[in-house]
Structure 1
Amino acid sequence: MKNGLKGACLALLMGGISGCSGDKPLDSPSRGTITVAVDESFKPLAMQLTDAYSGIYPDTHFELKYRPERESIAMLLKDSARLAFTTRPLTRQEQIAFDQQKIIGKAEKIGTDGVALIVSKNNRDSLITMAELKAVFSGQLTQWQQLKGATETGPITLVFDNNNSSNLDFVLRTFSITDVSKLRIFTTHSNKEVIEYVRKNPTALGFIGVNWISDGDSPLSGELSADMRVLGVSDKDNPTSIKDYYQPFQRNLGLQTYPLRRPVYILSRETHPGLGGGLINYIARDAGSLLIEKLGLWPVKPYNREVYIRK
């Protein structure tokens, strides 16, 4: 009798269902609860995507944990999260940690986001070049009046959401900066706090995830966008026209004209056809792409919409 019960349990497990005493039921694409680690700069994006999915499948639940990118990936490696929203795939060293756990892992690119540069409306400067920005992070330019065409004066304070944030890591990687000890950097606890700090400090230059301010239909985006400017950025050393500068609008992300664009990935450690895979498929291959577009970002696979015109 015991052998028969063992065989029945094995059959159930092979079918992706756990019905034996002591076994934890496996989640599926339409049922279950999983933890998702999210870099805080992607909070609006992750919230809308998971809420939309749970709206379709009411028996699914996502416990979102907002952490800096490095901590989000650490949670994934320690099996404290099933998925992680990040700006990059795993490094070779991180992949080795997965290999030791015999986890294949998956990195799915779902869209293009960007790092937006923001200043207070009391600061009338609205343009900057990549060369100037690199000089700022290299410590060569420290005052607003040193920037070409600047009207603001005083020391430039660089404002980020966290010491381990993806926004900071991305900018440092972009300009190959390894030492920030001499830079005037101020960190808060969230992208929202970066915005609030910048509003009150005209000499502050803030760095936030574009998705915090890019959803034109969101009351929160409208509220956060008030009383601040989003800088136009040029990758030309000597721009000759305002047309050489680009803001992080959806079109500029898609056409790859905005210099500080970056990918959005979902990393997974799922080992069975579960809820994590269901969410990824919804985002990458289904109507989830429409939500990414609505947020003002650029999806990897735009959702095809057929329009019939009657004569």
Structure 2
Amino acid sequence: MINYLASKVALSFGCLALLMGCDGGKSQLDNPSRGTITVAADESFLPLVTQLTSAYAGIYPNVHFNVVFKPEQEAINMMLKDSARLVFATRKLTANERLALDNLKIKGAAIKIATDGVALIVNKANTDSLITMNELRDIFSGRTKQWAQLKGSNQKNPITLVFDNNNSSNLDFVLDTLKVSSVKDLRIFTTKSNREVIDFVRKNPSALGFIGVNWISDSDEPLSVDLARDLRVVGVSNKTNPTGRSDYFQPFQEDLGMQRYPLRRPVYILSRESHPGLGGGLINYITRDAGSLIVRKLGLWPAMQYNREVNLTK
């Protein structure tokens, strides 16, 4: 009788364990310190996203991020189709995109984590490293086609505009900022990545490249320093008639934070997480002290400032 009861108890515990392990997958949900999720991002944020996810995974050995880099709209579509938990993007969801989540009864979130900038780069042989927003509008309207039409340039060839992708956030942002509706008559060349834009500009003095500034703004990262070699980062002015170099600003930290650089843009994390999971853990990490230090190290302006307190003793 005792052996029979023991076997019944053992069987009951076995069934309970099996049920707990198969309870609709609930016991297998990820949490801030364990699990695997997919994160999608526009390729212009590759250095930023790579450093943030790697740093977080370095703290929690049971965490893994499948990071996928796509043009921004494709990355957002991945999240809407539940192929990605988080998206690093330059915008919030549109009303129609928001409705797609509402229909699934998913609250979602859009959290600003930084201010970024689209950097304009030219070959080191090109002496023209200053441009106004009006001159940019003239280039994208087709009124200005030659470098010789811009003051300060030593180049005589046509201006070649270089972007990373036909559907990239860099291109969309510049076109939207300059109110350009069509590029069919422009001399535009697209590559497959921000790195390829850098390589193209390095080899072509007539090129004007557009990249996410985090690719070249981390002075402590050897790759970033190497990529910035043989390039000039163009200073941009909002003024119609600048009177000196002080009227031009570059897409680096102070000018981004003080909102002086004209081609600055926000960086958001879009989330569809419906439970306190790994996505929320990464967001909390990024928006608090440690994550904001990484954003700052990359030369961007963190949305949440990390204030250091120094105690001086005699």
Q: TM-score range by the shorter chain?
A: over 0.9
Quote the residue 1:19 is aligned against. 21
Instruction: State the Cα RMSD in Å.
Output: 1.8
Residue 66, structure 1, aligned to residue 69, structure 2: yes
3-state secondary structure, aligned to 2:36: strand
State the one-letter code of the partner of 1:111: A
User: In the aligned structure 2, how far is the partner of 1:247 from the partner of 1:296?
Assistant: 12
Structure 2 unaligned spans of 5+: 1-11
3-state secondary structure, aligned to 1:164: coil
Offset at residue 304 of structure 1 (A): 2.3
Quote the residue 2:256 is aligned against. 253
Counterpart among 152, 157, 176 of residue 154 in structure 1? 157
3-state secondary structure, aligned to 1:128: strand
Quote the residue 1:180 is aligned against. 183
Residue 123, structure 1, aligned to residue 126, structure 2: yes
User: In the aligned structure 2, how far is the partner of 1:19 from the partner of 1:31?
Assistant: 16
User: In the aligned structure 1, how far is the partner of 2:165 from the partner of 2:301?
Assistant: 25
Quote the residue 1:106 is aligned against. 109
State the one-letter code of the partner of 2:22: C
Quote the residue 2:174 is aligned against. 171
Residue 235, structure 1, aligned to residue 238, structure 2: yes
Offset at residue 305 of structure 1 (A): 1.7
Quote the residue 1:75 is aligned against. 78
State the one-letter code of the partner of 2:25: D
Offset at residue 273 of structure 1 (A): 0.2
* CA offsets 1:191-238 (integer angstroms, 9 cap, x no match): 000000001111100000000000000000011000111001000011
User: In the aligned structure 2, how far is the partner of 1:39 from the partner of 1:268?
Assistant: 15
Counterpart among 121, 132, 136 of residue 139 in structure 2? 136
Question: Matched residues, percent identical?
Answer: 67
Structure 1 unaligned spans of 5+: 13-17
Residue 217, structure 1, aligned to residue 220, structure 2: yes
Quote the residue 1:298 is aligned against. 301
User: In the aligned structure 2, how far is the partner of 1:148 from the partner of 1:70?
Assistant: 37
The normalised TM-score by structure 2 is: 0.92
User: In the aligned structure 1, how far is the partner of 2:153 from the partner of 2:123?
Assistant: 14
User: In the aligned structure 2, how far is the partner of 1:99 from the partner of 1:23?
Assistant: 23
Quote the residue 2:247 is aligned against. 244
Quote the residue 1:206 is aligned against. 209
The runs of at least 4 consecutive aligned structure 1 residues that moved more than 4 Å come to none
* CA offsets 1:154-174 (integer angstroms, 9 cap, x no match): 111100000000000000110
The normalised TM-score by structure 1 is: 0.93
3-state secondary structure, aligned to 2:58: helix
Quote the residue 2:194 is aligned against. 191
3-state secondary structure, aligned to 2:21: coil
Offset at residue 82 of structure 1 (A): 0.2
Which of the two has higher C-alpha Rg?
2
Residue 33, structure 1, aligned to residue 36, structure 2: yes
User: In the aligned structure 2, how far is the partner of 1:122 from the partner of 1:38?
Assistant: 33
